């Protein structure tokens, strides 16, 4: 049995909104949260963690990450995924979706097969909860750092063998001949996301409101922007209650753009992601993404032509930056890396809040969002 005391706990209130709780101790039994007790009620023999006045929150969820620690999903090895899992845990993430690139289809399949094996074998560190397919069903006009020669038309026959592992597919709705592909994804429990898209505002609104495509991939990046006469996909993000990812690293989105998103969405349905590549955690120098050479300097990673190529941010860093830039309350920011992705992907019954009966996936951090302890399934990572 594990008990955490002397913390500023971030928990849901009666309305489900995250708030602070500073009294009592959080008790975990096995892999599950048992609930709160007074410190006097902590059972004899329990392992006690003194949070020392730091924040105690549900473990972070990262639903869009290509790589870190010198490893990438497209390496197609369990060793690479194990490296990623370890660094994710060190940065407060307790569950993540390794994300594929727009590569040759057999390479994507190799990556999905490896993710499936890792879900079964459970390497140490953050849990691998499935995969996010970023492409190859995207727009050549908004390919970003994706290789154009590997872009192809959406075909559900390609996806069907991987229904158990794929949790999100990023695609360009204007490239679909109709919405049959999206309908089949929804029937299989796969979230369809609008991204790497040259769609206009009307097309994006149609996809969201008429066809249930309720997620946007890395808002502002690789999509049509907003103007007062041509609101674009970004305008559709602002004008709907769809979930939206944002890379809060001050490279992919300016601090003011982060604030505008926060206010436009009323602080709701925002999901912080890292979108990090293998260079994350390694410092400056050359790296690689999807077979393309990448150069890293500070927070910026680019292809040879200067195209931004994913981030080198960690999730705890994104939390800190978005907190600073928006002025939102910390409990609301924590919803964006726990409750929001868990609710959208159907995981909230088992993870995403410090609630009795849910998985004991917990992170302890200080005012700088420096991770002091990550607990996964009731065990210190």
Tell me, yes or no, if 178 is annotated catalytic: no
Distance CA 130, CA 165 (A): 5
Distance CA 56, CA 135 (A): 36
Choose among 171, 172, 151: nearest CA to 105.
151
Choose among 72, 26, 129: nearest CA to 358.
26
310 carries a ligand binding annotation:
yes
69 carries a ligand binding annotation:
no
Choose among 342, 371, 347, 310: nearest CA to 146.
310
Distance CA 172, CA 192 (A): 10
66 carries a ligand binding annotation:
no
**DSSP character at residue 42:** S
23 carries a ligand binding annotation:
no
167: left (phi over 0), alpha (psi -120 to 50) or beta: alpha
145 carries a ligand binding annotation:
yes
Distance CA 309, CA 380 (A): 33
For residue 202, the surrounding DSSP H or E stretch is helix 201-211
134 carries a ligand binding annotation:
yes
The SS3 of residue 82 is helix
252 carries a ligand binding annotation:
yes
308 carries a ligand binding annotation:
yes
121 carries a ligand binding annotation:
no
Q: Name beta bridge partners: 293.
A: 288
Distance CA 268, CA 243 (A): 8
- Residue in 72, 75, 249, 275 annotated catalytic: 275
**DSSP character at residue 59:** P
Annotated binding site for Zn(2+): 134, 196, 218
Annotated binding site: 134, 145, 196, 218, 221-222, 229, 252, 308-310
The residues annotated as belonging to the active site are 275
Annotated binding site for substrate: 145, 221-222, 229, 252, 308-310
């Amino acid at each position: 049995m594990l008990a955490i005391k002397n913390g500023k706990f971030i928990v849901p209130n009666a309305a489900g909104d995250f708030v602070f709780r500073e009294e009592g101790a959080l008790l975990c039994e096995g892999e599950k949260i048992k609930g709160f007790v007074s410190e006097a009620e902590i059972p004899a023999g329990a392992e006690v963690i003194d949070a020392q006045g730091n924040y105690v929150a549900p473990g972070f969820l990262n639903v869009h990450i290509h790589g870190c620690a010198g490893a990438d999903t497209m390496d197609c090895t369990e060793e690479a995924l194990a490296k990623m899992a370890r660094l994710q845990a060190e940065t407060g993430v307790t569950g993540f979706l390794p994300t594929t690139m727009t590569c040759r289809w057999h390479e994507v399949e190799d990556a999905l097969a490896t993710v499936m094996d890792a879900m079964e074998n459970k390497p140490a560190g953050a849990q691998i909860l499935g995969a996010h397919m970023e492409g190859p069903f995207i727009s050549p006009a908004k390919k970003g750092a994706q290789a154009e020669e590997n872009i192809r038309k959406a075909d559900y026959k390609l996806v069907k063998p991987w229904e158990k592992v794929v949790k999100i597919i990023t695609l360009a709705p204007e490239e679909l001949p109709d919405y049959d592909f999206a309908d089949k994804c929804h029937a299989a429990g796969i979230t369809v996301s609008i991204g790497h898209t040259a769609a206009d505002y009307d097309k994006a609104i149609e996809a969201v409101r008429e066809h249930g495509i309720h997620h946007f991939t890395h808002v502002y990046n690789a999509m049509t922007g907003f103007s007062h006469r041509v609101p674009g996909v970004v305008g559709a993000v602002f004008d709907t209650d769809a979930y939206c990812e944002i890379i809060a690293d001050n490279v992919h989105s300016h601090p003011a753009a982060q604030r505008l998103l926060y206010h436009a969405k009323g602080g709701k349905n925002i999901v912080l992601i890292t979108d990090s590549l293998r260079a994350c955690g390694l410092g400056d120098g050359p790296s690689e993404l999807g077979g393309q050479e990448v150069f890293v300097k500070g927070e910026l990673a680019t292809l040879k032509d200067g195209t931004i190529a994913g981030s080198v941010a960690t999730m705890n860093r994104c939390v800190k930056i978005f907190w600073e830039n928006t002025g939102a309350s910390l409990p609301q920011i924590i919803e964006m890396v726990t409750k929001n992705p868990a609710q959208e992907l159907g995981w909230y019954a088992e993870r995403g809040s410090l609630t009795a009966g849910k998985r004991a996936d917990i992170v302890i951090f200080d005012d700088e969002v420096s991770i002091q302890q990550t607990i996964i399934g009731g065990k210190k990572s």
